[in-house]
Amino acid sequence: MRNIKWYVFLFEDKEKKNLLKVLDFNTVKEIGYVFNIDSQIVSNYFHGLIKPRGLLQYCYIYQFKQDFVKTLK
């Protein structure tokens, strides 16, 4: 299993100025399940292949190696 952690920064507005919540996930499938979006759409948005649509207009998605995250704590 890859040691990647996904973080979704969810904002209150499309301008992404007011942070509402930070969520962490182990896979893109988990992000898709929680937000009720196909995981392929989430992946394509993350890689910049499509413009944000729906709920993706209100968030940033980042991935980090879990080793990096452990050093931050």
Q: Which helix (H) or strand (E) holds 60?
A: strand 59-65
State mean pLDDT over 53-64.
Answer: 94
Question: Is the pTM above the cut of 0.75?
Answer: yes
- Listed residue (13, 3, 15, 2) closest to 69, CA to CA: 3
Range(s) of the domain holding residue 44:
4-72
pLDDT for res 66:
72
Tens-digit pLDDT profile for residues 10-54 = 999 999 999 999 999 999 999 999 999 999 999 999 999 999 999
Count of domains in the chain?
A: 1
pLDDT in tens, 43-54: 999 999 999 999
